[in-house]
Structure 1
């Protein structure tokens, strides 16, 4: 099959990581795969090398004016990607969008993976996310919990294909690279995803302040954080609260691709207090590395991680569970986590995707950018 996978960025966000890994696994299975995305800020390539068996189409996306709002930038992203893709749309048997921007850009004939469902009140964002859920002719989710949200909120039945994980990359890291991170940071709790509301960053900060009373030597390290959205106000509140609590987390920002696995593997515990997730790929990578995991007690994370993680609801719970992970973690729990991560292979995910694609009916609907007539439904949950 000739397959187009579409994403919205070249940066290392979860959906982009998913897109590239799936594309490479599909190509390894003999499929003809092209990944389409926007090259923001002059990017001509992805955050990591991509298997040359996968074709790349990176559409230039020039910076907007300083006055451009988030909503305006989203609409411009849709228009630029949609205009570029429309010229090649007929070349593909399967058009598979991984996010709301690309789903709006390519129109109703696409397959859509809904990774998680957010809530937006900005009219442009609400309308775009609504269209990206209701217009695609077929839907996938990476967990049963998100599929249930789609069914309950929109009456849409989605197939479920969980994420894979690059198990060997995180399970067999270079001991020298791990030692370098430990030498630089000493003993630390790690989280990956940056500082933003969905990642529960303020709760983690409060938990860290409590954790330090029993473990003053432990540092909180935050990696990642690439996003389209403007979280400066939230970041300012986070920084002000850190000053009030007299704690100084280490904020690394985006970490080089080859440095991420040893950074994860060298951590004493991994914190994942997200308030909204579809699967939790970064947390699964931590399990692959044998790192004790503490997650927010959400239905989706109960589904995905089961007995391999510790669960917390409040920041007090989070502090207590992180303390337990630092002191009471057992080899059997770590081994349980490794086994869970090892079961999630990208080859298996690709095989299930191919079977899903082949089950689909022919879809004569044309591929057209969904940039006109956008409706606003701010009262609903909105899919990312």
Structure 2
């Protein structure tokens, strides 16, 4: 597939979100094998391409679009436009409508934009096609906020706005709103598109406002600014949805954004929404968000739903069939909108959710609708199977280990079965109160070691942490695979009288071994059966006769795991297993 891109001549004089979108489509489509060319006015070679994609509906664009259709090429148009019955008089309405009529498909950034444009221009909804805006994966890799502060001498808490300075972005009203919070500085990053408007903003903001100017989109300083800010604010007249807001959201920053446009389709309850003309409302939203913690849930959702690598999949499909492809969301992975119950935020996955994550540990609580089990994969490899997720909220922890300096790893959560009941909706697993532990944090290596032992296991509950150790509870039966060597660990039960049978490749190793409520040490020698490189280690836990209800899962807790691999062909010790109280 060969696609030709073009936009209006002045677009890259002061590039904004639409121009970044064009560049990112180009980059990621090429990575998918789509041949994309940028129009060369001196050597356009139209006939060498199968589709022309035009970005804009600025006045004068109709002439180019008409020419494309006159030479028989399919035309796809991205208008990046939010227009209402009340505002349409401000635009070259008739010209834009003719562009839409000429186009084979009109690509919008949201379903809401598709619905609105179809209604306002009285054009069949089938003409419009949703491809969401995206972020580059490097926004999932944080940069220390101190880099930005030191570069520009910024101290204290500040509100960040990244946008071209112009009336539509509403920086003047933002500066007025910040007067209610003299302890907060306002930092503006972006090109000046309207010099007179910019001077009004600078005058209104006074010493409270700091204008940085434009930063390269792939600059570490931009990511550092997102990391350093207390609030990201984009109270524009309208947004579809604003790439900078999406980037700040992916970085976990509290986001205040206009309610006009399609912002809610992206951020759900994960952002605070304001009326662009309500100065007091903007000030109040900033006050609510200024001390809010950073959200790792928004990072996960942005990664699963809105990276350029994911969103261009639909665009590539459209190029293959610009006319006939229906605008249906064929993506069965990712998240539904972030929700809130008034106390915290949560989000439901679809059938599965795949997202990029830096090495570390993701924790929180999760649930399914009727109870079930999930599989967890890291970079496509099975990490944990048959992980029980109840219908009520329960704790979870997903360890993402380091791998050869790889900055991001792919994590997949997939609901594999439910507890014998039909699912009432396409929602699979809800994640709530999500936290992230950096791989550099104390205790992570011990956690990663235990998680490595349990990879591919069944019957284990998520890893827990107390002040002294990492551990994981088994169910009544749990198993994992181990290489040859000596495995040392401690274990305990929730109730006295519990006994455990340990099997290695189905053969008894320990029989009816008492496990008390206090931690005790165990050593196992792992000798695989002939022809196998690993052995299956199974714990079978027997309930004591006097067992009573407990908040802990019934089984044994296993922690302080150490593994000594076998370095020769001889046995490590004469004993196959030992328990030391």
Measured in 2, the distance between the counterparts of 1:177 and 1:149 equals 42
State the SS of the aligned residue for 2:112. helix
Residue number in structure 2 paired with 1:187: 157
Give the aligned partner of residue 209 of structure 2.
Answer: 249
- 1:299 and 1:266 map into 2 onto residues whose CA distance is 27
Shift of 1:206: 1.4
Q: Secondary structure at the match of 2:239?
A: coil
Structure 1 residues 347-367: Cα deviation after superposition (integer angstroms, max 9, x where no partner): 2222111111112249xxxxx
Q: CA deviation at 1:27?
A: 0.5
Q: How far does the alpha carbon of each residue in 1:130-176 deviate from its partner, in whole angstroms, 9 at most, with x for none?
A: 54444323111011121122111112321111012113335322566
The equivalent of 2:3 in structure 1 is 3
Partner of 1:21 in structure 2?
24
Within 2, Cα distance between the matches of 1:111 and 1:221? 37
* Structure 1 counterpart of 2:197: 234
Say which structure, 1 or 2, has more relative contact order (CA 8 Å, 6+ apart): 1
Residue 106 of structure 1 is matched in structure 2 by 64
8 A Cα contact 1:140 1:159, kept in partner? yes
What is the number of residues matched between the two proteins?
Answer: 302
Aligned CA RMSD, in angstroms, stands at 2.6
Q: What's the counterpart of residue 175 of structure 2? A: 205
Aligned to 1:91: 48
- Offset, 1:290: 1.6
- Equivalent residue number for residue 339 of structure 1: 300
Mark the CA change 1:128 to 1:299 in structure 2 (over 3 Å): closer, same or farther. closer
After superposition, the Cα gap between the structure-2 partners of 1:182 and 1:233, relative to the gap in structure 1 and judged at 3 Å, is: closer
In structure 2, the residue matched to 1:149 is: 116
Matched, 1:312 2:279: no
What is the distance in 1 between the residues matched to 2:151 and 2:301? 26
Q: Could you say if the C-alpha distance between residues 249 and 350 of structure 1 is closer, same or farther in structure 2, counting changes exceeding 3 Å?
A: same
Asked whether the 8 Å contact 1:225–1:253 carries over to 2, the reply is: yes
Distance 2:95 2:201 in 1: 29
Match of 2:185 in 1: 219
Aligned residues of 1:170 and 1:261 also touching (Cα < 8 A)? no
The CA deviation at 1:182 is: 7.4
Runs (5+) with no aligned partner, structure 2: 70-74, 325-581
- Listed as ranges, the matches of 1:44-123 within 5 Å are 57=40, 84=42, 87-101=44-58, 103-104=61-62, 106-108=64-66, 109=69, 110-117=75-82, 119=87
Note the residue ranges of structure 1 that are not aligned, 5 or more in a row.
37-56, 60-83, 363-384
- Name the CA distance, whole Å, in 1 between partners of 2:202 and 2:95: 32
The TM-score with structure 1 as length reference comes to 0.71
Determine which structure has the larger strand proportion and give its number.
2
* DSSP 3-state at the match of 1:184: coil
Task: Report if aligned partners of 2:239, 2:261 keep a CA contact under 8 Å in 1.
Answer: no
Larger Rg: 2
Structure 1 or 2: larger helix share?
Answer: 1
**1:204 Cα deviation after fit:** 0.6
Kept after mapping to 1: 8 A contact 2:7/2:55: yes
TM-score (norm 2): 0.48
